[in-house]
Structure 1
């Protein structure tokens, strides 16, 4: 019996829009979950880490539940039986008695056009000699998935007789290897785009914590105009120390602000108190005074080179190799006998510092390493 082949036709297609939408949703879930895990790890954000794990798990369960009716309907479909000719076969590996064999088949269904298909099946080494190019075999496949071809190892006597007397001409390619992608290249690009957008969305939501503006204590020396004595600040003075905390939007590096803050700590003193150390940050000033009767080396607060301090901080931030400075502070002390100013800067590149004398002249630099 000779089977005459009709031109191959395209296999049935599924609803493209639904599959594309599922691909986009899958990409968004994967992208946002991976980004949530990465951002949650960086920020040590436990709820975000839990969400990064729970969302894909919940989505997977939802997909399984939504696909259950379809899988049940597919399992109830009676497969079609047809004859096929082996165009070629090749064992692709395996170290057991059953080895994977890739078959190139021409399938000739009854009453339908023939087509080429590639199918990988496990065949026992003992039975491998029963298959050879040009041989006729019996196959089965779901009616709506003609590419899902499986060899029938023990066909009924009727199909055995048909296979024994049949001759099938080769069908032109290309051979179907898997389910056709409904969206093709467009579907792949849409899934990738959704993945990137999902990841970007998570990063965008937490951009303030990841890449947010520097805290007020991390601002560079301000170029604002002269300080307004009426602006808000908190001053705490005791016998041993004094502290000034400026309100938001202010800086001790504004013109004249540091001198006003220092004066507020010594206002009302009958005599000038000597300072042991002075620590200056952007909005925080701390002065440790020498206790009465102590012989510890100190210095007069009027001796600080106030006009030079903003320039020293700016010099430390920009010339010592710390490209992204996060924190810095200026410390003034005279423990060695002479007034010394040190500006320390820290950032992602490490730490650096410079040292200046009582006139604000730089005498030493320690760049980042």
Structure 2
């Protein structure tokens, strides 16, 4: 029995540019951009909710797509596949040599009983022991969904009827223009997916752009700033009951080097080492200390015991996790009036104020978000 190629199909396969595909592409791009931006920004700002959003959003979206596609998959599974004969034009292994199965790329001429023959390429895993059964010009039995002819699978164990048909069949090669392939998504789907990705990333970055810029400013090394008198100047005033360190313009106590130098200047010398502090207040450019009166038994603490290296991190956490979206000012207050050292970090902005409390090691023990 000889099967000719017949007339090549004249209608092109439909493209994937449908309204549903465009909407799905936009949603997929938006979820991708949102999750990536949320994870990266969350890591930079040490914002745990953003990090969790970046991880959980794609998982939830994937689960939603799986559930939404269940009815379609059930309908497709209920449709009986079409069986046809096919001739192997060529084949070559494309991977999997290290296992018992090898991925083989087949170029087939598929000849359905009720339609014109067509060419198609398909990759399928073949057991190494069965590989000699597949050779160019050989006839095989294939199956594919009637509405998706590009999803061809070679039937490894056909029924006796089809096995007999394959043994006595000859198929003419289909010409190149008769090739069938999976419909492309189309440029519109790619463009809306890219638009969704950009919009998703923007929705995450724009609300916290001020915090990101502040992060970049405070993380900048002092060596990256051009030397000047104002950038390295500070004023220290010490009296019997208090001390104040004031930084010059373009400086901040969020810089750990400036903070360390300020505390070193207040604890140098034997007389200063023995003084106990009642309260310490740190603001953007001002550090103030109130000392316990000499000769009294008032509860105080040693300035050297303060975890001041944790102060910048406490301010960043208060700025980004307590619900103050555009914080303008911050203040750290350390006091030991109750016998145990307590460190409070407060931030305020146009939408309210919030604070957090840390212990003597700088570990956060309580949060009071903005209301």
TM-score (norm 1): 0.57
Are 1:142 and 2:151 counterparts? no
Question: Contact (CA 8 Å) 2:244, 2:286: kept in 1 or not?
Answer: yes
- 1:282–1:33: structure 2 CA closer, same or farther, 3 Å change rule? closer
Distance 2:64 2:34 in 1: 17
Distance 2:137 2:58 in 1: 47
Show structure 1 runs of 5+ residues with no match.
216-220, 222-236, 246-250, 254-275, 292-369
- 1:108–1:11: structure 2 CA closer, same or farther, 3 Å change rule? farther
- 2:241 corresponds to: 240
Q: CA RMSD in A?
A: 3.7
Distance 1:11 1:141 in 2: 16
Question: Contact (CA 8 Å) 1:118, 1:175: kept in 2 or not?
Answer: no
Question: Contact (CA 8 Å) 1:108, 1:114: kept in 2 or not?
Answer: yes
Q: Higher relative contact order by CA 8 Å / sep ≥ 6: 1 or 2?
A: 2
- 1:20–1:282: structure 2 CA closer, same or farther, 3 Å change rule? closer
Query: What pairs up with 1:19-30 in 2 under 5 angstroms?
Result: 19-30=21-32
Distance 2:17 2:75 in 1: 16
For residues 18-56 of structure 1, give each alpha carbon's deviation from its aligned partner in whole angstroms, at most 9, with x where no partner exists: 112111211111111111011111111111112112211
Q: Decide which moves more: 80-89 or 189-198.
A: 189-198
Show structure 2 runs of 5+ residues with no match.
219-227, 229-237, 250-271, 273-282, 294-371
- 1:191–1:32: structure 2 CA closer, same or farther, 3 Å change rule? same
* Secondary structure of 2:86's aligned partner: strand
Question: Contact (CA 8 Å) 1:12, 1:145: kept in 2 or not?
Answer: no
* Secondary structure of 1:206's aligned partner: helix
- 1:106 corresponds to: 109
* Rg (Cα) greater in structure: 1
Question: Contact (CA 8 Å) 2:14, 2:183: kept in 1 or not?
Answer: no
Query: What pairs up with 1:200-349 in 2 under 5 angstroms?
Result: 200-211=202-213, 240-241=241-242, 284=286
Question: Contact (CA 8 Å) 2:16, 2:184: kept in 1 or not?
Answer: no
- 2:65 corresponds to: 63
* Secondary structure of 1:78's aligned partner: coil
* Secondary structure of 1:148's aligned partner: coil
- 1:12–1:288: structure 2 CA closer, same or farther, 3 Å change rule? closer
